[in-house]
Structure 1
Amino acid sequence: MTPVVTEPSTSRDTEPEPIEAIPLRRPGRWIAATVVLVLVALFVYGAATNPAYRWDTYVQYLFDTRVWAGIAVTAQLTVLAMIIAVVLGVILAVMRLSSNPVLQTVSWVYIWVFRGTPVYVQLVLWGLFPVIYSQLDVGIPFGPTFATVDLQSLVAAPFLFAMIGLGLNEAAYMAEIVRAGINSVPEGQSEASIALGMSWAKTMRRTVLPQAMRVIIPPTGNELISMLKTTSLVAAVPLTTDLYGRVRDISGANFQPVPLLLVAATWYLVATSILMVAQYYVERHYSKGASRTLTARQLKALAAAQNTPVASPGADDLPDTPDKPDMRGGERK
Structure 2
Amino acid sequence: MTTLTRDPARTTPTRSPRDNWIPRLGGTVWLVWRQHRAAFWTIIAATLLGVLAMLYLRGQMMDFLSAQEPTSRRSGGLPPEFETHIDRMLNIKSYIGYIPVLAGVLLGAPLIAGDLESGTAKLVTSQSVSRLRWLTTKLAVPATMLALSTGVLSSVLTWWWNPVKGLSDGLMWTSFFGATGVTPVAYALLTFTVGVAAGLLLRRTLVSMVVTLGIVVAIGFVWSELWRYLGHVMSISTDNGVGAGRVPPELPDQAEQLGQGTYFLTSSGARLDWTTCLDQVDNDRAHTACLESKHVIGWSLDYLPVDQMQTMQWLGAGIMLAITAAVVTFIITWGRKRLL
Fold conserved between structures, TM > 0.5: no
Higher strand share: 2
TM-score (norm 2): 0.25
- Structure with the greater alpha carbon radius of gyration: 1
TM-score (norm 1): 0.26
